[in-house]
Amino acid sequence: SRKDEILEIAVGLFASRGYHGVSMDDIGAAAGVTGPALYHHFAGKEAMLVAALVPVSEGLLDGGRQRSAAHPGEPRAALESLIDFHVEFALANPAVIALHLHELDRLPEEPRRRIRRLQRLYVEEWVAVLTALHSGLPDGEARVLAHAAFGLMNSTPFLGGEVDRRRRAELLRAATLAALLAPTEPA
């Protein structure tokens, strides 16, 4: 839809220039309309940022839950499925990842809290799989591993194009799996 097109344009601009570096007129010009015409679709830039980030967080949580539930009693298979899911997300949505990293704090308290809650629930899907995979791994340590894995997989917005997408996905999957399968006993 036209609203989705405009949102995609706004996300790209926010990711490349920063939220405060983009005006409604900039978004309108990139979309081929005037800035004021955008108000037919969105209340403003803030509404665009919310519209970009909330559904993504909901989609990650839903997808994570589905991937975990598809492999009951098989933590390694669940982990591999979660990694596949997140790598595909990261490669398909680098601008959204950049927004999450750099612009989430620009949101008003309510949508920011909602997004952070969704993110925490998504992390807990990973924690459950990691603690099932590594016997005796405390939840807090599993969270450290999950966030480290996200850092690895979400590094894709900052990669150049010298490695094609398929190979980047293979490398990210292998590196993330190796990191999360490594022994977790204290040194």
Q: Which pLDDT belongs to residue 160?
A: 63
User: For the residues 140-155, what does the mean pLDDT come to?
Assistant: 95
CATH of domain 45-181: 1.10.357.10
For 9-43, what is each residue's pLDDT tens digit? 998 898 888 888 999 999 999 999 988 889 999 99
| Domain edges within the chain | 45-181
The answer to whether residue 58 scores a pLDDT higher than 90 is yes
The answer to whether residue 158 scores a pLDDT higher than 80 is no
Q: Which pLDDT belongs to residue 9?
A: 92
For residue 157, what are the CA distances in angstroms to 15, 49, 79? 10, 18, 23
Q: Which residues touch 163 (CB under 8 Å, ≥6 apart)?
A: 171
